[in-house]
Structure 1
């Protein structure tokens, strides 16, 4: 995602100019109107973004442990535990997609952990190359193409192409690949968390010090604009990509279930809903701690818009969750419900683009 760098509110310059033309003997100090959004930026950066990445890193580590357990003792119970650990790690990742900027982009972490569709050919080539790679390690996986590692490759190994893989279907090489891929996911998500936290790469300081020395943001407003752009990007991706492509195909060619993300695990609906929740988390300033967010800024100018947008977010999540059965089945057998969910997500995007972003731009 490209960062937008714009000059802050011109009111300050206008005020200064006005003062210069109105010198008098009045002893009172001139009042220069300013706005400060430190509370909103600090809360969103620390308590939403950093905490989401912390949760992701911890749950990726749990998934790696479960993969080790499967390799050590491949049982139906351990397989179920690993699958649940994948779903648990997937949740904070999808809830982070409302802010896919910064290290997740610049360090190539997003494509390294969430490329779709999977490259089964490269995976199979590595699995069969026992002479060249007698043992599959994390280092080997890290050098695989992005589509042959990360969440969806792990998903494929755990569930299989039709989502019904059994314990007896696993080979020892697949278990090696699984452990190594989960180790790589753990490494990349830890790198992401470390890049943001204050005692690591400290990318969070760009928001805490927006408009100050050392920040990539020339003003607090430009930081807020980046947050809004992040919300717009994921709303567009869900409504016009993740739902649209399997629902109607490329360029309207007809539904194509092979393009459905997270289809092996049938986790797609939850993925989509959590993507919309990522918008809610940034807007409301809440992940686990409830603090100030974009909502507080919008409400100061337009309480009706704030309440309307909150309702639109909720309606989009509810419409996604109301799709009957799996998304795979719904795109052919419950198309009306899918279309309704898609329209609700598009409404969220439209409100962000046409009402909320202009409000932030004109602060």
Structure 2
């Protein structure tokens, strides 16, 4: 079981500039950024294999205990993956790839049975396809034979009919299969899928258990395959991968990619798509980990990923700490006073996002409850967190200016703050 206090740096770390008194080059910072990426993706791959093992144990013996173990393995697998999202945006190879692993929100009726009053994306024919209960799926002019569920088939089903809500793969497809729908709205409680949904023979509940088993196995295999591919892209001592391409480019462009990724995740994605959209619509469908109510962790580890790149520090899943020169070290060489102010902004934002984690884990008030229209205090907490992320983005832009990195303009995802 994942200890809620594991795998994050103590709040207030790096109160003094890292690598003080040591000359840090831009090249060293970009190289360490690539090393961080490789470590984070390697941890994501390792935890996906642990998750797969827990799924196999669930299928071998579908009980409440093995289902709970699989759920905990899924939650643990999200810790390194969410810290990897800071490598998006600036690195097109990551942004083009990540949808197959982390696309959301999804119309879960594409995958399996749903409640009769299920509200899906308007006009999405795929939302009622129920792959698990079908031999063929037709959405618009697209028709696919789904008799045999394979990783390749699931990849082909993504965005069938042109709808981004048709998500057949990745973490959230597996999450839905483990938890089932969260039918509690903005009240307490997550999904409650019974372990017997994976049982064989007379013990099977809700039908098609054999195909449900095939689906989760295929989704888990594809997740591991995709993560292994990205680990290879960042592997050192290779001349034919993305890491080599990044390091062969100018250090200015490398720093721009780092800062753009940090700023875009902070502003458009985390403050905007993952918090503001859900809050303004009071919509649990727009909650990131909506089936498991793990959203507070996803938010926190996204923020931790930004913090990792800024400080050059990452706590690996085995508890070891990977350290090297980050953006902070370069800023400190330019302006020590400004570096301290910027670091304080990062610390404040990380503490503020951590308050969402505290709300869930210590007060049992989860993100879907915080965004309820009737929860004024919860709405205020989320709004305060959004404001802090906006301020952090300003600090990222200030860092860029101090380092002479122009044309940053972090992605706002068309949100106004």
TM-score normalised by length of structure 2: 0.71
Which has the higher Rg, Structure 1 or Structure 2? 1
Distance in structure 2 (CA, Å) of the matches to 1:243 and 1:160: 23
Name the structure 2 match of 1:277. Answer: 304
State the Cα distance separating 1:41 from its structure 2 match.
1.7
State the Cα distance separating 1:165 from its structure 2 match.
1.9
Say yes or no: does 1:142 pair with 2:155: yes
Name the structure 1 match of 2:140. Answer: none
Does the 8 Å CA contact 2:255/2:405 hold for their aligned counterparts? no
Say yes or no: does 1:68 pair with 2:111: no
State the Cα RMSD in Å: 2.1
Say yes or no: does 1:158 pair with 2:195: no
State the Cα distance separating 1:257 from its structure 2 match.
1.9
Within the candidate set 346, 356, 370, 1:330 is matched to 370
Say yes or no: does 1:79 pair with 2:67: yes
Name the structure 1 match of 2:26. Answer: 37
Residues 328-337 or 125-134, more deviating: 125-134
Name the structure 2 match of 1:319. Answer: 352
Say yes or no: does 1:198 pair with 2:236: yes
State the Cα distance separating 1:198 from its structure 2 match.
2.7
Equivalenced residues, count: 313
Distance in structure 2 (CA, Å) of the matches to 1:155 and 1:43: 33
Q: Which runs of 5+ in 2 are unaligned?
A: 1-23, 113-129, 137-144, 160-166, 183-190, 199-208, 315-320, 360-364, 407-417
Distance in structure 1 (CA, Å) of the matches to 2:279 and 2:337: 33
Which protein is richer in helix relative to its size? 1
Within the candidate set 210, 222, 225, 1:187 is matched to 225
Residues 122-131 or 65-74, more deviating: 122-131
Residue pairs, 1:342-353, within 5 angstroms: 342-353=386-397
Distance in structure 2 (CA, Å) of the matches to 1:174 and 1:339: 39
Say yes or no: does 1:94 pair with 2:132: no
CA deviation string 1:175-195 (max 9, x = no partner):
221111111111111111112
CA deviation string 1:68-95 (max 9, x = no partner):
2212211112111111111111111110
Distance in structure 1 (CA, Å) of the matches to 2:338 and 2:280: 32
Q: Structure 1 pair 269/136, CA: closer, same or farther in 2 (3 Å)?
A: same
State the Cα distance separating 1:135 from its structure 2 match.
3.8
Does the 8 Å CA contact 1:221/1:360 hold for their aligned counterparts? no
Name the structure 2 match of 1:306. Answer: 339
Does the 8 Å CA contact 1:44/1:286 hold for their aligned counterparts? no
Does the 8 Å CA contact 2:270/2:302 hold for their aligned counterparts? yes
Does the 8 Å CA contact 1:43/1:285 hold for their aligned counterparts? yes
State the Cα distance separating 1:205 from its structure 2 match.
2.0
CA deviation string 1:299-320 (max 9, x = no partner):
0112222222222222222222
Distance in structure 2 (CA, Å) of the matches to 1:243 and 1:304: 32
TM-score normalised by length of structure 1: 0.81
Within the candidate set 225, 244, 264, 1:233 is matched to 264
CA deviation string 1:117-141 (max 9, x = no partner):
1232332432112485444222322
* Corresponding residue SS for 1:243: helix
Name the structure 2 match of 1:7. Answer: none
Q: Structure 1 pair 128/350, CA: closer, same or farther in 2 (3 Å)?
A: same
Distance in structure 2 (CA, Å) of the matches to 1:270 and 1:71: 27
Name the structure 2 match of 1:29. Answer: none
Does the 8 Å CA contact 2:252/2:405 hold for their aligned counterparts? no
* Corresponding residue SS for 1:289: strand
* Corresponding residue SS for 2:242: coil
Residues 238-247 or 297-306, more deviating: 297-306
State the Cα distance separating 1:36 from its structure 2 match.
3.9
Distance in structure 1 (CA, Å) of the matches to 2:178 and 2:382: 27
Within the candidate set 87, 93, 105, 1:103 is matched to 93
Does the 8 Å CA contact 2:307/2:346 hold for their aligned counterparts? yes
Does the 8 Å CA contact 2:293/2:368 hold for their aligned counterparts? yes
Name the structure 2 match of 1:220. Answer: 251
Distance in structure 2 (CA, Å) of the matches to 1:259 and 1:315: 26
Does the 8 Å CA contact 1:71/1:179 hold for their aligned counterparts? no
Q: Structure 1 pair 144/36, CA: closer, same or farther in 2 (3 Å)?
A: same
Residues 119-128 or 326-335, more deviating: 119-128
